[in-house]
Each structure stands twice: as structure tokens, then as C-alpha cells.
Chain A
Amino acid sequence: MTFYALTFALLGVGLYGLLAKRNMLKKVLGLVILEYAVNLLLVAVGYRAGRGAPILQPGEDPAAFVAGSVDPLPQVLVLTSIVIGLGATMLLMAMVLRLHQRYGTLDVDRMDRLKG
């Protein structure tokens, strides 16, 4: 339970960084923290207290293996979600670089030319 609470606290930290900070780099960091908090949550969901890593050893009994390891599915999902997060972060950093070149600032409020 504590672990889940801490994960959600981390989600909050990421959300705060993403929404409240004006510096673009801090926004990116907030986004990364947010993504990793979700990944942590996924892994935590698959965790079963006292069980081992889901790696089959030679000669191990399949039934005992299944009963003795944590849920591997969320770990696979996390791998995919890390890739997705990486793609998004890379694109985001490219945009930050380009915006910094153009406006000479990282402050979102000082470059706001869009009226929305």
C-alpha cells in the first residue's frame, strides 16, 4: 500500500513539473518522471510478495515456476511503454532545441505567439 501511495506521489511530482513549470526543460523532466511513475505502477501491479523473477531455469518444474514467480506481463508492457516514452521524449527534446534556437529562451511564457 505504501508503495502504491509513493508511486502516486511520484505521479503528482511529474504532473506538477509538467504543468506548473515555465521552463521547457523542467517540463520535459516532469514528463519523464510522469512516464516512469506509470511504469513503476505497472511493475508494482505485477509484483507478488515473496516470489522470484520469471526466468525459467533448466530442469525447473513448470508448475512450480508459474506458482513461484511474479506476473511477467506488466514487465513486458513496461518495456513497450519505455520505448514509447523514449520516442516522445526524443521528439520533445528536438522541439525544445529548435525553439531555444529560435527564441533564445527556455521560458514558455516569453515565446507565446499562439493565441489559443
Chain B
Amino acid sequence: MGAYLPLFVALPLLAGFACLLLKRAAPRAAPWLSVASMLGLLALAAVAVARRDAGVTFAGGWGVSGWGGNGGADDVVFVVGIALVLDGLSRLFLLLVALVGTASAVYALRYLEPEAGRPLFHVLFNLLVAGMNGALLAGDLFNLYVFVEVASIASYGLVAYRTGGTEIEAAFKYLVLGTLASTAILVGVTVLYAATGYLNMADLGVAIAGGAVPRLPLLFAAALFLFGFGTKTAAMPFHAWLPDAHPSAPAPISAMLSGLLIKTLGIYALARVFFVVVGADEQVRLILTLLGCLSMWGGVLLAQAQDDLKRILAYHSVSQMGYVLIAFGVGTWLGVAAGLFHAVNHALFKSALFLSSGSLERLTGTRRLSEMGGIFRRAPATSVGLVGACLSIAGIPPFNGFWSKLLILIALVSAGQPVVALLAAGAALMTLVTFVKVQRKAVFGALPARLANAREVPAAMYLPVLALVVLCLLSGLLWPLGVDGVIGAAASSLRAGAGERPAASEYIESVHGRGSR
């Protein structure tokens, strides 16, 4: 069971190093290698989700023998290896990474064409995907940290990819804050290891629920994790790097960073660490709610003042992550499920938005909204993609954004938090206002004379966006079908019913119970 799990990490690594090997011999192969590895991951993730696979495998199932023995199979004392765990939550996010990764890789085929050094871009792109997949599958805290760092280092390089002054400055800021966050995470891991002697998340979860860690070290570790993963999520007091870093990257990478990275390293890790390991008690949930409200409103308000399209989108990433955090703050099954649903939806529409912003930049030669306009006539496909994604993020009914925001509101009200629900509804209204403005200024209105000859971008650039928008629409229409199998399974692996700690019984069971070999 689950012997194929290492492929989720090995496949992108293989593609990435093949790009490096063929840097001189066949530089044109690199983009296609990325597309191929993403399609392979998509197939794997689709199979995993369709079969509802769950279980544990070891990378390196090394039997440790009694020393000095004959080394035969009967001599094996215990098995060591890197535990890779697949459950409802990691399944969902693996599929998400593969979907958005495929769209970005296809988009990069034509988007990056004029620029030199493409093979290096694809090396880093594949490393980023390998790091994210590894973080999703890691069964112990230290490997979670390692894969978070692999993905982060790849993303620092990608933000600096264009090597202009502002890009490197943004990457410098991002790297310093990101490494600070990772260091905090490592200190947290160290504290828990010192207190329990475990690194495996399921073992740690059981030990902590059993009271193995005294209150003070536990609080210290929780605070460090909150800061570390909160920074990776770009929750409001820790968000300073995101509005610089995400717009500085090339468009397909902005889509990967905003669509995936802040979720796999941020939301997923927060959910995993707090609901499975540390335990999300009253205070933790209150802090998550506070961070969420701050991000939600802070992001949306700061976005109002921007004219640069990609910066607007970046601030809205901060704001939308706020919704996910308040949903986690509710802590009920419905709240967690709604939050995860919103994270999925945000990945789909925000990557579509960032890819569209790249197309618009190509079309108009600018990222400033005030210099765009009337692009609909010149580039209908790009415009349709942008408008669809805008409707999703603004929460217009048939699209997915509406449903997940509605579910979050329902979860808040039914948990007796009407004030937070009002705040969320207000922020949603502000989001709507921003994106009506974006549409009006970019797509409709008068075409500036400067853009009279603007030409539609190549099909490889608008088709991924349209595909993502279709996914937004489909998940908006068909989500009731996926509640049990996909989203619900993910939420259930974090919370079993309305029970208290140990909440993550399904995750722990899938590690301990079913076939730990």
C-alpha cells in the first residue's frame, strides 16, 4: 500500500535534474520535461484521490538488525526510513499541486520564451514542486521542515529569477524572513523532541494529548510554530514579504507561490501541526481567529491603495488566507472543511488571476491598472479568463468562491461567532469592490490609443487560465458531490467528528493502525 508515494517527490526531482543535465545539450527540452513531470504527478494524484488511498510507506525501509548477527531477515529488530504518510488531507493538496503546477508549466512554455536561462528556471520549478509534495507527505516534523526548506529555497531563487534590482531586493527580504521562520520551526521541533523523544507526528500527537509535554515548553513550541508557519502563510503581522516577493516572480511562479506555496507550507502545515500534533485548544483557535480577521481586513484595505495589478493580487492572497484561518479558528468539522474548501478554491482562482496578470502584462506592456483598459476587444480569451477568475474571488454565486465563503459564514454563525461572521462578510464585500474595479479598468472601458495594436497571447498562455476558470466553475457547481470523498475526507483526517483531543484520530490511525510496514 502506498509504495508509489516516493514518486511524488522523485518524479519532479528527476525532471529537475534532467533539465540541469541537458542545460547545454538540449535547453529546449526543459519546459517539456516540466510539463511531462507535472502531467505524471497529475495522473498519480488523480489515482490517489479516486481510490481514496491512505497509508504509510518508508523511503528506505531499512531493517535494523541485531549487530554482529548474520544479517538475515530473521535478525531484523525494527524498520527505519523516512515515513511518508498519505491521508485525506495530503491527497487533496497533492491533487491541487498537480493541477496548478500543470497549468503553470504549460503557461511557462510560451511565457518564458524570450528569456534566457530557461533550463535553470525549470530546475528550480521542479525543485519547488518536489519540496511541496515532500512537505505534504512527510510523516515526521523534521522532514516537514526539510521539505519546507527545499521548497522555500527554490522559491527564493525563483523570485530573484529576473535578477533586476527590485526583484533581488524582494528576494532578499523574502529569504531573510523565510529563513527566520524556518529557524523558528526548527527550534519548535527541537523543543518537542527534547520533551518527548519523538519526531513522528502521529506519535507526537498521541504523546502530547497524553500530557507528555509540560505546559510551558508546549506553549513555547506552539508559539514558534505559529510564527514560523504563520510567516509561510503570510498571515497579517507576518505578511511583509509577500506583497514584494509574489509580484517580483515571473507570472507562472507568482501563480505557484500565491496559489500553492502559501498553502502547502502555510495552511497545510499549520493544520497538520496544530490539529494533529500540538492540539488546537481554545487559545490556539482564538489566536487563529484573530490572525485571520487581521489578515482578512488588512489585506483587503492595503489592496485598495495599489495600482499595480500583481500587488493587488498579492494583498488579496493575504486577505483570502485570513478566511481560511478564521475557518480553522472555528475548529468544528464544518469550519475545517469550509476552510480547506476555500484554500482549494483560492489556489484555483488566484493562480488563474496571476497567470492572467502575466498575459495582461505581455499584452499591454504594463502592470499598472490605470494604464490598461478595453482589452476585451483585442484579447477576448484572456479577458474571459480574467473576468471568470475575478468573479470567483469576488464570490459571485455560480463560482466556487461564493460557496466556500458561504460555508465559512455558516460555520461561524453555527459556532456562535456572529461578529467574526459579520467581519468576514464585510471583507468579502470589499473584495467584490476591488475586483469590480479591476475588471472595469483592465477589461472594459476605453482602449488606450497606445494599445490599439495589442495582440492576443498564444493559446498556450490563455488555455491554462481558461482551464483553471472552468475548474472554478465546476467546483462551484459540483462541490456537493465532492464533500464526502475529497473535502470531507480531508477535514475528517484532521478532526474526527466533534470530539476533543486527540482530534486527528484518523490520521493517527492511518499511521499506527493500518499496515505500518
Contacts and interface: CB of A to CB of B under 8 A. Distances in A.
7 contacts: A38-B187, A62-B66, A62-B67, A73-B199, A87-B153, A95-B171, A114-B170
Interface of A: 11, 15, 18, 24, 27, 31, 34-35, 38, 41-42, 45, 56, 62, 65, 73-74, 77, 80-81, 84, 87-88, 91-92, 95-96, 98-99, 102-103, 111-114, 116
Contacts of A56: 67
A99 B187 contact: no
B388 to A, nearest CB: 30
A109 to B, nearest CB: 12
Interface stretch (B156-164, B418-426, B502-510): B156-164
Nearest to A98: B168
A34 B449 CA distance: 55
Contacts of A113: 165-166, 169
B190 interface: yes
A38 B180 CA distance: 11
Contacts of A18: 176, 180
Give the top 4 A-B pairs by smallest Cβ distance, nearest first: A45-B194, A62-B67, A84-B149, A102-B165
A95 B168 contact: yes
A81 B150 CA distance: 11
Contact of A92 (B166, B175, B243): B175
A88 to B, nearest CB: 5
A84 B172 contact: no
B166 A114 contact: yes
Nearest to A58: B68
A99 B146 contact: no
Given A62-B66, A74-B190, A111-B165, 17 more contacts: A15-B180, A38-B190, A62-B67, A65-B67, A81-B145, A84-B146, A84-B150, A87-B153, A88-B179, A91-B157, A98-B163, A99-B165, A99-B169, A99-B172, A113-B166, A114-B166, A114-B169
Counting chain B CB atoms within 10 Å of each CB, the highest count among A27, A35, A81, A111 belongs to: A81
Contacts of B169: 99, 111-114
Interface residues of B, number: 36
B286 interface: no
Given A111-B165, A113-B165, A81 B172 contact: no
A42 B191 CA distance: 9
B142 to A, nearest CB: 6
Interface string B234-250: 00000010011000000
Nearest to B186: A38
B148 to A, nearest CB: 10
B173 A96 contact: no
Contact of B190 (A42, A62, A92, A111): A42
Interface in B209-243: 240, 243
Interface string B61-78: 000001110000000000
Contacts of B149: 84, 87-88
A114 B173 contact: yes
A91 B170 contact: no
Contact of B153 (A35, A91, A98): A91
B183 interface: yes
B386 to A, nearest CB: 25
Nearest to B159: A95
B444 interface: no
B18 to A, nearest CB: 20
A98 to B, nearest CB: 5
A91 B156 contact: yes
Contacts of A42: 186, 190
B132 to A, nearest CB: 16
Contacts of A99: 165, 168-169, 172
A103 B193 contact: no
Contacts of A88: 149, 153, 156, 175, 179
Contacts of B183: 34-35, 38
Nearest to B69: A62
B470 to A, nearest CB: 34
A73 to B, nearest CB: 8
Contacts of A27: 176
A69 to B, nearest CB: 13
A99 B160 CA distance: 11
A4 B325 CA distance: 34
A34 B67 CA distance: 38
A11 B224 CA distance: 13
Contacts of A38: 183, 186-187, 190
Contacts of B66: 62
A18 to B, nearest CB: 7
Nearest to A66: B67
Contacts of B173: 114, 116
